[in-house]
Structure 1
Amino acid sequence: MKQKLSIVKIGGNLIEDEAGFKQVLELFSKINENKILVHGGGQKATELAKQMGVESKMVNGRRITNAETLDIALMVYGGLVSKKIVAKLQALRTNAIGMSGADADAIRAHKRPRKNIDFGYVGDVDTVNTYGIFKLLQAGFTPIFCALTHDGKGQMLNTNADTIAAELAIAMSDQFDTTLYYCFEKKGVLQDINDDNSVIQHINSKDYDELLAYGIISDGMLPKMHNCFYALRNQVSKVCVGNTNMLEADNSDFTTLTL
């Protein structure tokens, strides 16, 4: 029987919410099995870019990354946010280690080809170093991945954190029974964006197509849901979407996705 692995992705809005940030790290630290945390930091990156007079551009929920915004992403994702998370988890007796895709050659990517939109220094994942990550877990470390990859030729790349979480979950599913959690400020996928209690508790592939057609899933949820079903189609055991309470054993008020 495979060991269990929980991969928890937390977004930038949750990181900026002091109470929610504290809660999710406390709940994450209590997960007894193997675990990996993946974090964004887009809101903090946007704030810093504004302070520096650098314009931030988004298309379909994804960030356009030029040379200036890539440097900001490196500072925020790989530095400021990563080290705060690692330090707080160490205080919670979780032996965390901050990682980008370049560290231990963990996640290698290529620069996204220019088609209709030029995303700049944005990476699409090619490979995950499952052996290296497995050895870290085996040694008792908890990897904390930020939204950065590399191309193996010295170039860092900005990569959507939801995508990194999905790619990690898929790659590690050969060795582990993997559950992927997308943790953000809402209780789950909402039928009505203005009603926090309108959680859709189960979504399958057919439901997903209908929700897209009716525009219920849109904007920033588009890449998240794409990655959820991408993971499910590639052997990930379970995908859940919800707020920090989702990580509590007795909570069921979140969205579970299946094929």
Structure 2
Amino acid sequence: MASLVVIKIGGNVIDDPTALKRFLTAFAGLSGAKVLIHGGGKVATQVATKLGIETTMVEGRRITDQPMLDVVTMVYGGLVNKQIVAKLQALDINAIGLTGADGGTILAKKRPVKDIDYGMVGDIEEVDSGQIQFFLRQDLTPVFAPITYNTAGDLLNTNADTMASAIAVDMAAHNDVTLVYCFEKKGVLKDPADDDSVINELTPDLYAEYKTAGTINKGMIPKLDNAFKALEKGVTKVIICHANEVAEAVRQGAGTTLKMT
């Protein structure tokens, strides 16, 4: 079974040109097939402010009304995505910039309103792994922006961590998949104030203990929930690491590795 690395890059790395260039150079140096999923950083909020569009966040999640959807589509699917693709081309990686709507690769449905109306936010229903495999067979490196679509033809803002997990799970039927979440920390930390307090390995039982103790909290919880679900559904390995250490992490030398036992 062929190896595939699915990498999600986000956090402050997207906002820092130097850090992003360093990450993309390391990403380009990885051998074999790979897929990149990126977040949007703070650029969407900055552009929305310039356009007089208010940004509303609830528990760290963006409320996406139609004006904000227009902004995130322009920023994530346009500006950020194409900047990354251009930089990868300069590093001799033949990248192709995509949203979930392109090639019908990622179908979603609008999140139902419960306690909170998130607006035009999509929950993933289906990934067309055959289409992604087609791109890879053409020696193209897919670079996904966190935008999906639904059967009515609407674009939807979709969490990039969830998108990375969904792609990794679906591709695991055809590949030996390593899923890597890269950001500005060295991994999952025992002490958020100490960047060197990396938890090298994390199992479901240990994860539950750290959550109960409050060691792991806030935004790291949905990231890890997605990661463990990916392992349960066939992904071989999940790593959480610093963007600077992605190459070393894939070679089993950095970050936090998640295991089922």
> Could you state the TM-score of these two structures normalised by the residue count of structure 2?
0.95
Contact 1:12-1:44 at 8 Å conserved across structures: no
What's the RMSD between the two structures over aligned residues? 1.3
Residue number in structure 2 paired with 1:233? 232
Q: CA deviation at 1:232?
A: 0.9
Contact 1:27-1:248 within 8 A present in 2 as well:
yes
Aligned partner of residue 16 in structure 1, secondary structure: coil
**Deviation at 1:218?**
2.2
Distance 2:48 2:226 in 1: 27
Is the 8 Å Cα contact of residues 7 and 182 (structure 2) preserved in structure 1? yes
Alignment partner, residue 182 of structure 1: 181
Q: Which residue of 1 aligns with 2:71?
A: 72
Residues 222 and 46 from structure 1, CA distance in 2 versus in 1: closer, same or farther, beyond 3 angstroms? Answer: farther
Letter in 2 for 1:254: G
For the residue of structure 2 that corresponds to 1:45, the secondary structure is helix
**Secondary structure, counterpart of 1:248 in structure 2:** helix
Is 1:40 the counterpart of 2:36? The answer is no
Aligned position for 2:220: 221
- Superposition deviation, residue 61 in structure 1: 2.8
| CA distance in 2: counterparts of 1:187 and 1:28, whole angstroms | 16
Secondary structure at the counterpart of residue 94 of structure 1: coil
Q: Taking structure 1 as the reference length, what is the TM-score of the superposition?
A: 0.96
Q: 1:218 to 1:49 in 2, by over 3 A?
A: farther
Partner Cα distance (1:66, 1:42) in 2:
18
Q: 1:141: how far off?
A: 0.5
Query: 2:8 aligns to what SS in structure 1?
Result: strand
Return the alpha-carbon distance in structure 1 between the equivalents of residues 43 and 201 of structure 2: 32
Question: Who is 1:258 aligned against?
Answer: 259
Is the Cα contact below 8 Å between 2:15 and 2:41 reproduced in 1?
no
Q: Deviations over 1:190-212 (max 9, x none)?
A: 11111111111111101111222
Separation in structure 1 between the aligned mates of residue 246 and residue 193 of structure 2, nearest angstrom = 24
Q: 1:178 to 1:172 in 2, by over 3 A?
A: same
Is the Cα–Cα contact under 8 Å of residues 101 and 107 in structure 1 kept in the other structure? yes
Q: 1:81 Cα deviation (Å)?
A: 0.2
Aligned identity (percent) is 47
Q: Any conservation in 1 of the 2:7–2:164 contact (CA below 8 Å)? A: yes
- Matching of residues 50-89 of structure 1 within 5 Å: 50-89=49-88
Give the aligned residue type for 1:247: V
Distance 2:61 2:211 in 1: 18
Q: Secondary structure of 2:125's match? A: strand
Give the superposition deviation at 1:52.
2.2
Unaligned runs of 5+ in 1: none
Over 3 Å counting, the alpha-carbon distance change for 1:59 and 1:219 in structure 2 is: farther
Partner Cα distance (1:82, 1:5) in 2: 21
Q: CA deviation at 1:94?
A: 0.3
Question: Aligned-pair distance for 1:220?
Answer: 2.0
CA distance in 2, matches of 1:31, 1:164: 21
Query: 1:251 Cα deviation (Å)?
Result: 6.6
Q: Distance in 1 between matches of 2:219 and 2:16?
A: 18
- Does the residue aligned with 1:222 lie in a helix, a strand or coil? helix
Runs of 5+ consecutive residues of structure 2 not aligned to the other structure? none
AA in 1 matched with 2:113: R
Match of 1:194 in 2: 193
Comparing 54-63 with 98-107, which one deviates more in the overlay?
Answer: 54-63
